[in-house]
Amino acid sequence: MRRVSVTGAIVIIAAVAVTLLARELVGVGGHASLTVTVAGRSAHVVEGTTLAGAAARFGLHPRAADVLDVNGQVLRAGAVTGSLLVDGRPASAETRLRSGDRITVVDGHDRREPLVRRSVRVTGGMANNPQFTVSRTPGEQVIVNGSLSHELVSVRFRPSGPARPARAVALTFDDGPSPKYTPRILAALTKLRARATFFVIGYLAEANPDLVREELRLGMTVGNHSYNHPEVPPFAQLPPQLLTDEIALGEQVLSRLGAQPRLFRPPGGSSSPRLVGAAAALGQRVVLWSVDPADWSPGSSAKEIAKRVLSAVRPGSIVILHDGGGDRSATLAALPAIVRGIRRRGLRLVALNANPPAAQGPTGNP
């Protein structure tokens, strides 16, 4: 009897094992069971299960991501959906799974908004940056914006021909305003009916605000010559933050006086691509010069200064002079000869344009 009982128990256990195996291989309602891989692990589903059904059963929910603007800020949260792949390929939710299929969950990834590029013709051309002469280069501005946010990404000038020098000369004055010499130079220019450009130092403008306002009232252009006029090390070699601060502080002072400077002359003419970029980021074009009569040199006479200017001046010349920083009596005395000599050559005297030329009319989207 004991042997029969043992034998019977073995038979029962075997039957249970077979039943369990059969249930594993056959789904509910008699459907066969399929073996699939879900996120790297083996799993069983009944025959006929769709991708959507497997996602619901196993809780497969790809993470959604965001659409970002050109500055990395969220424009549309959760707009970039994730996906489920079957054997590494996209599949629809109704796809019926087969034995051996691999289901992979792919989360969404943040996406930057698309960019839109357009070209705008610049009427009259554009001054170079840095600017050495009174000239314009024909061409167009290539403007890039975010297609959704419309945020500006970049503006680049694309020339279409060589620079065209104007039949004009720009007199520029640095290192003022000086209570002693700036009023007298302004009076001389007014008497000669000549306009000029004054690159003023920020802290001196703060100390002499009425002189800056007088320059503006008389139709002169006022440009930025930094706040402190540092010379050691050369301005372009200053640490990036200090360089930017010098430009920005000078601009702030002049803006409070109504100047709204868009031109920047670095102390000593020290320039570099990094400096040009820093000034451009603050909306200012770097202006240098093509004629330097060294009126700052001790012992220079009015006759010598005038001769140096007139022997070098050409159509489009920018002349650097000084109304501050020392004894400027010789510069003052040389002005009538300089102005008359330039005009005898058939050249106009102009103040530099503080604003970029107006862009007109789209020419298409390259």
Domains and CATH numbers, the chain: 28-112 (3.10.20.30), 115-161 (no CATH), 166-359 (3.20.20.370)
- Helix, strand, coil content of the chain in percent (nearest 5): 35, 30, 40
* Cα separation, 38 vs 150, whole angstroms: 42
Q: pTM value?
A: 0.70
Specify the pLDDT at position 290: 96
Specify the pLDDT at position 189: 98
In which residue are the tokens 């289901």 written?
103
Specify the pLDDT at position 123: 82
Q: Which residues contact 257 (CB under 8 A, 6 or more apart)?
A: 205, 209, 212, 213, 216
SS3 323: coil
DSSP state of 177: -
* Active-site residue, selected from the candidate residues 101, 174, 295, 323: 174
DSSP string computed for 254-317: HHHTT----EE--GGG---HHHHHHHHHTT-EEB--SB---TTSTT--HHHHHHHHHHH--TTB
Q: Is the dihedral of CA 300, 303, 305, 308 positive or negative?
A: negative
Q: Are strands 65-68 and 111-112 parallel, antiparallel or unpaired?
A: parallel
* Active-site residue, selected from the candidate residues 101, 229, 322, 323: 322
- Phi/psi of residue 275, each to 5°? -65, -45
Specify the pLDDT at position 15: 47
Contact between 167 and 347 under an 8 Å Cβ cutoff? The reply is yes
Specify the pLDDT at position 124: 81
Active-site annotation holds for 174 = yes
Q: What is the pLDDT of residues 184-206, one digit of tens each?
A: 999 999 999 999 999 999 999 99
Specify the pLDDT at position 156: 83
Q: Which residues contact 338 (CB under 8 A, 6 or more apart)?
A: 171, 305, 306, 309, 310, 319
Q: What is the pLDDT of residues 341-357, one digit of tens each?
A: 999 999 999 999 865 43
Strands (E), 69-163: 74-80, 83-86, 89-90, 102-106, 111-112, 115-122, 135-136, 139-146, 152-159
Specify the pLDDT at position 31: 60
**Average pLDDT by consecutive 10-residue portion of the chain (366 residues)?**
49 47 47 86 93 93 94 93 94 94 94 93 87 92 91 86 92 98 98 97 97 97 97 94 97 95 96 93 95 95 98 97 97 98 97 57 33
